[in-house]
């Protein structure tokens, strides 16, 4: 009798399903940085007044001004967050 109960308990544990199993996402990353992250990249590179920030042609495009008032145009790679193009002029 004791072995029968132990075998039944063991068998039921193999087929037991947890009531709520948490969903797992392994290896899934966002396909691009967010607009807030793009704004942070611009700020870390001297842009203090962001006038325009748009996503087109597969990249973030930022226009603004730096501390001394020069116009800044910047293109940010959406996957890595690195600056692909930076131009400052009066």
- Domains of the chain and any CATH numbers: 2-89 (3.10.450.40)
Q: Is the pLDDT at 22 greater than 80, yes or no?
A: no
Measured between alpha carbons, how far is residue 44 from residues 28, 39, 83 in Å? 27, 9, 11
With cut-offs at 50, 70 and 90, classify the pLDDT of residue 20.
low
Mean pLDDT, the chain, integer: 83
Stated pTM of the model: 0.66
What DSSP state is assigned to residue 32? Answer: S
What is the Cα–Cα distance from 11 to 47, expressed in whole angstroms? 65
What DSSP state is assigned to residue 49? Answer: E
Residue 65 has a CB neighbour count (10 Å cut-off) of 16
Nearest to 47 by CA among 24, 25, 70, 28: 70
């Amino acid at each position: 009798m004791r072995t029968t109960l132990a075998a039944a308990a063991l068998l039921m544990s193999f087929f037991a399903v947890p009531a709520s199993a948490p969903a797992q996402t392994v290896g899934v990353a966002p396909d691009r940085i967010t607009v807030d992250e793009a704004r942070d990249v611009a700020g870390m590179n001297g842009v203090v007044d962001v006038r325009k920030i748009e996503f087109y042609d597969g990249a973030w495009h930022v226009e603004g001004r730096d501390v001394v008032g020069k116009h800044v145009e910047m293109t940010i790679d959406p996957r890595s967050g690195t600056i692909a193009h930076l131009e400052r002029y009066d």
